[in-house]
């Protein structure tokens, strides 16, 4: 790998890690398209690399968040990880044997449906004001894990609304907690891809280094950004991501 490639991979990792630490997503929304369009990888290689890389970015962001004003809610993290992480293997299997277009369209529709309630969610959500029953949160967690394994986005774009509306967490706490869940999700999913034959591990160190640095800086910045801005920014992010996924799916079809 030459210096130019090292720089590209490092910048991709940094951008995904920064988004991961600041908003609480896994960074796959940056890693996957960047590896496809900037590095020339195919979508399945990019998905696997994304899952492996954001394990390290999420770990960095989680450690930094533990020192902030909105640390991880480990009870919620453990509850979601118990269903999300194992389910990633289903997504990995689907990724290896079938086209992704129809699933991408369903995922985009889900993002659009969730964007409005997240943008309107109150900064403080009391435990008795949950809008989604906990059992439905767990069922949804299975779907989140499947999507994470399938498209390499990590599932955090869906976990944050579930934690806010279903577990009664504040938005910033949900963002920090989603990173912790992403660690376990990424470990299980990336193991599945390695077993399935992913062989580009030697290309990942600069991507991982950039993600770790970006996630640390992103998590450091989160406490200084007004919560309403993060809520609305996250909702906008989901809408934009949905448009991108639809465009990709239409191109595949």
Helices (H) and strands (E) in the chain, counts: 10, 0
Report the C-alpha gap between 40 and 32 in whole angstroms.
Answer: 11
What are the mean pLDDT values of the chain's consecutive 10-residue runs (253 residues total)? 84 82 66 81 84 84 79 92 94 82 70 67 49 85 87 73 86 85 90 90 90 84 72 76 78 63
Query: What local confidence, expressed as pLDDT, does residue 83 receive?
Result: 95
State both tokens at 39: 């590095």
The parent domain of residue 34 ranges over 3-252
Instruction: Please give the full DSSP string across 51-108, using - where no structure is assigned.
Output: HHHHHHHHHHHHHHHTTSSS---HHHHHHHHHHHHHHHHHHHHHHHHS--HHHHHHHH
Report the C-alpha gap between 247 and 26 in whole angstroms.
Answer: 21
Number of folded domains that form the chain? 1
Cβ distance 186 to 154 under 8 Å?
Answer: yes
pLDDT digits over 84-126, tens only? 999 999 989 988 887 767 766 766 776 676 676 666 654 444 4
Query: What local confidence, expressed as pLDDT, does residue 123 receive?
Result: 46
Please classify residue 112 by burial: count the beta carbons closer than 10 Å to its beta carbon, then call 0-12 exposed, 13-18 middle and 19+ buried: middle
Enter the pTM of the model: 0.75
Nearest Cα to Cα of residue 103 among 90, 86, 116: 90
Report the C-alpha gap between 152 and 144 in whole angstroms.
Answer: 11
């Amino acid at each position: 790998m030459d210096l130019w490639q090292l720089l590209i991979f490092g910048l991709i990792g940094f951008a995904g890690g920064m988004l991961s630490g600041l908003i609480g997503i896994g960074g796959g929304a940056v890693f996957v398209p960047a590896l496809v369009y900037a590095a020339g990888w195919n979508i399945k290689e990019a998905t696997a690399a994304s899952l492996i890389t954001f394990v390290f970015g999420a770990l960095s962001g989680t450690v930094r968040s533990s020192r902030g004003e909105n640390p991880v809610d480990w009870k919620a993290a453990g509850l979601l990880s118990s269903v999300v992480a194992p389910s990633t293997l289903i997504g990995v299997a689907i990724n290896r044997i079938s086209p992704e277009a129809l699933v991408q369209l369903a995922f985009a529709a889900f993002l659009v449906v969730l964007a409005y309630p997240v943008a309107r969610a109150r900064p403080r959500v009391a435990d008795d004001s949950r809008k989604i029953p906990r059992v439905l949160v767990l069922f949804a967690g299975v779907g989140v894990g499947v999507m994470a394994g399938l498209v390499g986005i990590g599932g955090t774009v869906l976990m944050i609304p579930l934690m806010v509306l279903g577990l009664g967490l504040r938005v910033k706490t949900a963002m920090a907690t989603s990173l912790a869940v992403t660690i376990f999700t990424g470990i299980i999913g990336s193991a599945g891809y390695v077993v399935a034959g992913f062989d580009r591990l030697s290309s990942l160190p600069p991507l991982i280094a950039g993600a770790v640095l970006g996630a640390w800086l992103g998590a450091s910045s989160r406490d200084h950004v007004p919560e309403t801005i993060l809520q609305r920014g996250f909702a906008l992010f989901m809408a934009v991501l949905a448009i991108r996924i639809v465009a990709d799916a239409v191109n595949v079809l």
